[in-house]
Amino acid sequence: MNDGILNSAASLESLMVKSLIRLCSIPAVSPHNGGTGEDAKILELAKIIDELELKNISLKVEHVDDEKSPSGRRQSLFLECPGRKSQRLCILSHVDVVPEGDRSAWTLDPFKPEVRGSRIYGRGVSDNGTCLVASLFALKAIQDAGITPEYSILLAFVSDEEMGSHYGLEPLMERGIFRDNDLVVVPDSGNDEGNFIEVAEKAVWRLMFTVIGKQVHASLPHKGINACRVANMLAHEVDEALNSKFTQRNEVFDPPFSTFEPTRRQANVPAVNIVPGREVFEFDCRVLPEVSLDEAFDVVEKIRADVERRTGAKIELAVDRSDAAEPTSPDAEVCRLLAGSVRKVLGVEPVTGGVGGGTFAVFFRRKGIPAVVWSQECGGVAHQPDEFTEISYLVNNAKVFALMMAGEE
């Protein structure tokens, strides 16, 4: 049975490439990040599914209200196909992408994907387009091979992953779509070897500081409060305090320590001769489960209040917090099933471990549903200019998912 499935998946390579290009030509960027959302991409995905003429499937669109979306809602698409068992294999990918960033750093239009040699280039082709397409064509491959899935299949194509899932999986989890005995795969992290199965994630903790001072002409700084200087001071003190206090290590994770990174800073004034009266900057923190986020917040809050007192500026703090969940056991059924398929397709011995966090898996782990994160993907290209994927990885992921659907442990 293996050869039939693998040959079937390999024969679909050209169609997979064309489908990935079609989908990634649509800029499905969150309306909370300067885009118009995922509606057009969901519609195109539904067209591709119809063209594949898959048998015995049902499609359902779930909506989450979002007043910033042009349609007033965010869409996610679910495909189900019955198998020999009622127990389901669920593969969740996300349809949204991050913005292109600095377009001058790209050698192509980010939303006009191109094939160059063995690779496809374009925004979203790696994160998360390759695995989205691979999961769909895995089902096509086993049907073309004349095989009934061992497990019932649920393919979820979900919105809003890149901005925290507030208009995607988080509210959808409360609608009874998923079951306690589901086998859940989230193909949203991996490496070039394809041998890493993620079973644990750090907490994701994001801090946004808004410093409000008093804008004045740069020749009269004593008459104002320089929000840029206050922000510099605050960022330095928060950075130093968090990194010096929370030094715990856990070798399950890569890296094996918490990270507290100042990342984004918003534009302030339009001219160099203006002392800014407002400054906004953010930290992205990936925190080990053994570190108390409440204790870390107390450290930050103490610094915020102290800098506010010393400078006379007003400092507002907004927090986006996603706590760590209990890890998935490497002995869980879904982990064994995935590991067996990886061995057969890639000829490597899988290892398990933890990452910085930020995938769909955390929502399932919090509910006690084991979930694993895996894909063969090009390391370090997600969210970067000239994002790319290897065509061979697209096919290999489809092969692994197809073997899992067939119950080939």
Q: For this structure, is 390 an active site residue? A: no
- Name the nearest CA neighbour of 79 among 62, 100, 102, 104: 62
Mean pLDDT of 277-283: 98
Share of the chain above pLDDT 70, in %: 100
pLDDT of 98: 97
Return all residues near 285 (Cβ < 8 A) that are at least 6 apart: 203, 204, 205, 206, 207, 242, 258, 259, 260, 261, 296
Residue range 36-64: mean pLDDT, rounded:
98
Helical segments of 270-382, H only? 293-311, 333-346, 361-366
The model's confidence at residue 408, banded by pLDDT at 50, 70 and 90, is confident
Q: How do residues 185-194 score in pLDDT, each as one tens digit?
A: 999 999 999 9
Instruction: Find out whether 189 and 173 touch, Cβ atoms under 8 Å.
Output: no
387 in active site:
no
- Residue 1: the pLDDT is 62
Mean pLDDT of 7-31: 98
2-201+324-405 and 203-322 share one fold: no
pTM exceeding the 0.85 threshold for the entire prediction: yes
Confidence band, pLDDT 50/70/90 cuts, at residue 258: very high
Contact (Cβ atoms closer than 8 angstroms) between residue 187 and residue 373: yes
- For 2-201+324-405, CATH gives 3.40.630.10
The answer to whether residue 288 scores a pLDDT higher than 70 is yes
Q: What is the pLDDT of residues 58-82, one digit of tens each?
A: 999 999 999 999 999 999 999 999 9
Domain ranges for the chain: 2-201+324-405, 203-322
Does 136 score more than 70 pLDDT?
Answer: yes
Q: How confident is the model at residue 409 (pLDDT cuts 50, 70, 90)?
A: low
pLDDT digits (tens, 9 = 90+) for 222-254: 999 999 999 999 999 999 999 999 999 999 998
Catalytically annotated residue among 39, 62, 66, 96: 96
- Single out the residue of 337, 398, 321 nearest to residue 371, CA to CA: 337
The active-site residue out of 161, 162, 279, 377 is: 161
pLDDT score at 357: 77
Name the CATH topology of 203-322.
Alpha-Beta Plaits (3.30.70)
Of 352, 362, 356, 279, residue with least CA distance to 326: 362
Q: What is the pLDDT of residue 90?
A: 98
